[in-house]
A and B are shown apart, each in its own frame.
Chain A
Amino acid sequence: MLNIKNLHASVEGKEILNGLNLQVNPGEVHAIMGPNGSGKSTLASVLAGREAYEVNEGEVLYHGESIIELSPEDRARKGIFLAFQYPIEIPGVSNANFLKTAVNEVRKSKGLEALDSKDFLKLMKDKMQLVKMDKSMTQRSVNEGFSGGEKKRNEIFQMAMLEPELCVLDETDSGLDIDALRIVSDGINALRDGKRSFIVITHYQRLLDYIVPDFVHVLYKGKIVKSGPKELALELEEKGYDWIKEEVEI
């Protein structure tokens, strides 16, 4: 589904990703871990098409086609979803209206008819249950005045509404207490259907107790320096990153 080959990317002239390789097949969950500043959030931004990030070298193939030149909206319409580390507050547009516009844009790009209000409300009602969202949250302005936990729940709610194929979760666990973490993780797990793929970027092993990955990768200095099964996360939690850094330096 996703094939990243020798990816070099920079922001404001500074190279952050430095020859990253990653292959994600349908239905797989990949966890990306790594120390601060290793390039985890840059990877998320590059995949979603943020304009400030420049790809200098390498390839990002999605279903065999390069997406590097695609706009963020075209990537979203093709099924790539980024759950933001810091979701943006947008006063003046209700969550429901925002999502209706987004859902219908994505449908339009697939040649599907726009959902009318009734069908949309039904869809919203179904998906709200996934993340235990209150109805009032859909009527409020997008993320405005939401707590940290509510914002992250809203990201997963949006993900459920848009039904993407590839979900990139950028530190979705940051700022969550245990209860919120469980709700968000349950929501994500409910969306695992054997075809949808996930890239889970996190600092902590804790999240991976709830969302069990198929692979764990360690990102360091802009490339993946170690990959392993889910047990690798436990090892990292126990020993920190120093031993990996040492391995790499040698």
Chain B
Amino acid sequence: MNSSVDTLSVTNETSIAEENIPVDGLQKLRLAALNKFLKNGFPDSKHEEWKYLNLKPISETKYNHCMVASPLKASDLEQFYDAGSDTVNLTFINGRYCSEFYGHQSHKHPFSIYSLESKEAELYLETLRNSEDEPFHALNTAFHQGGIMIHVPDNCRMPMAIHLLYVNDSQHEAVAAHPKCIVVAGKNSAFQVIATYHSLNNFPSLTNTVTEFLIGEGAVVEFDIKQNENSKANHINRVYARVQRKAVFDIFTVTMGGALVRNNLEIILSEPNACAHLNGLTVADGYQVVDNHTVVDHASPNCESNQLYKNILDDHSQGVFNGKIFVRKDAQKTNAFQSSKNVLLSNTAVMNAKPQLEIYADDVKCSHGATTGQLDEDALFYFRSRGIGERDARALLNYTFASDVIEKINNDALKSNLLKLLSQKLNTAVEFGE
């Protein structure tokens, strides 16, 4: 890869010919993805999937896409270990997995970690999901360096969580990091993966992350995402999961920080009796823009999916929920539910909610709903009439709204960390939780 590429100028003539570069499997994928990206460029608001998101903060910033070196030391990262001590911390800096930070941890782990350039990983590259369809995924394929594959063996039930700790170090220049992680869950395995994203910004940053899961038969996997970057950080997050027979995949996306955040979740229930629960909570203020796009693809019969997305939007912030459900022709006895609930705390906050159902089977149960409103004035008065000040009363009501997402997370340390963040974000001293 040409490491001098620090901006991506796009014209129809720009493309990189294969014959000029020695090509192996991964390189071939990178070239194809880059050429695809260069051909189409960044999507604009005419693109249906991107109509609510102004990508100029990303497309008009000169990022270094190949800056993986960072002077950060282990001691600089301690502040980010917020998923508790009962975790295996795997650290990525500017997209690169840093095995050197693993050394001081005492946990022995039962899973394997492979480089994405290894033979073991080759089987899973681009076979789960072709990246060319989606511009940022293509960009990630072109530029990811030092990504890993985690393989959890069959029947392995892990009590400790895997914490993927992502740091974007844009203290010295604007860095675009393209981390990639593939998680292969063996048959009947059960475990939790927590991804937390952090950025250190003197310059704007872009984190363009891809996480792919293959959830084997009977496996139960929870994936928690915490996005709390600062206001110079832009974030594009893609999660793809293929959920096999009788497997369960639960995902939580909690977004409180970041300037522009886009989450693309695509879950395919590929075999019968697979199940996925998607939960999202966004708490935004200032000029934050948080866009959650989900696709749940019921490709097999007797599968179940349930989506609950909540937004609390203050100031000039904007939220988007676009939830697509496909029910394929053979996917009889499907249960697919979706709900988008939103609270606007100011007159200038905006929420766009768009459910899309495409159903080709005839024996299914599907529902969707979207509500956007304000805090309940009666409840507010009730709290205040008991001596609770207006700001705390509002915060408590916001907490009650957010709690049915946060309280479902199966990790007490992460949960209490998120609740603390929530009270900070809502500017209250009231402690949430039981």
Same complex origin of A and B: yes
Residue of B nearest to A142 (CB): B382
Contact yes or no, A92 B399, CB < 8 A: yes
Chain A residues with CB under 8 Å of B379's CB are: 88, 90
Stretch at the interface among A1-9, A56-64, A99-107, A179-187: A99-107
Chain A residues with a Cβ closer than 8 Å to the other chain, count: 30
Are A76 and B386 CB-contacts (below 8 A) given A88-B378, A94-B434? yes
A109 at the interface (CB under 8 A from B): yes
Chain B residues with CB under 8 Å of A175's CB are: none
Contact yes or no, A51 B381, CB < 8 A: yes
B388 at the interface (CB under 8 A from A): yes
Contact yes or no, B400 A48, CB < 8 A: no
B390 at the interface (CB under 8 A from A): yes
A71 at the interface (CB under 8 A from B): yes
Chain B residues with CB under 8 Å of A90's CB are: 379, 382-383, 397, 400
Chain A residues with CB under 8 Å of B401's CB are: 92
Scan A54-89; emit 1 where CB is below 8 A from any B CB, else 0.
000000000000000001110111000110100110
- Cα distance A85–B393 in the bound complex, in angstroms: 20
Chain A residues with CB under 8 Å of B382's CB are: 84, 87-88, 90
Contact yes or no, A109 B387, CB < 8 A: yes
A124 at the interface (CB under 8 A from B): no
Chain A residues with CB under 8 Å of B388's CB are: 73, 101-102, 105
Which secondary structure dominates where chain B touches chain A?
Answer: helix
Contact yes or no, B384 A71, CB < 8 A: yes
- Cα distance A84–B400 in the bound complex, in angstroms: 21
Chain A residues with CB under 8 Å of B399's CB are: 92-93
The 9 closest A-B pairs by CB, nearest first: A92-B400, A76-B387, A72-B384, A102-B386, A88-B382, A92-B403, A106-B387, A105-B387, A73-B384
Scan A96-117; emit 1 where CB is below 8 A from any B CB, else 0.
0111011001100100000000
Chain B residues with CB under 8 Å of A106's CB are: 387
Scan B367-392; emit 1 where CB is below 8 A from any A CB, else 0.
00000000010110111111111101
Q: A92-B403, A162-B386 are in contact. List 12 more A-B contacts (CB 8 A).
A: A48-B381, A48-B385, A76-B385, A77-B387, A82-B385, A84-B382, A87-B382, A92-B404, A97-B434, A101-B396, A102-B383, A102-B386
Chain B residues with CB under 8 Å of A226's CB are: none
Residue of A nearest to B404 (CB): A92
Contact yes or no, A93 B400, CB < 8 A: yes
Would you list 13 pairs from A and B whose C-beta atoms are within 8 A, ordered by A residue? Answer: A48-B385, A49-B385, A71-B390, A72-B381, A73-B393, A90-B382, A93-B396, A98-B396, A102-B387, A105-B386, A105-B389, A162-B386, A162-B387
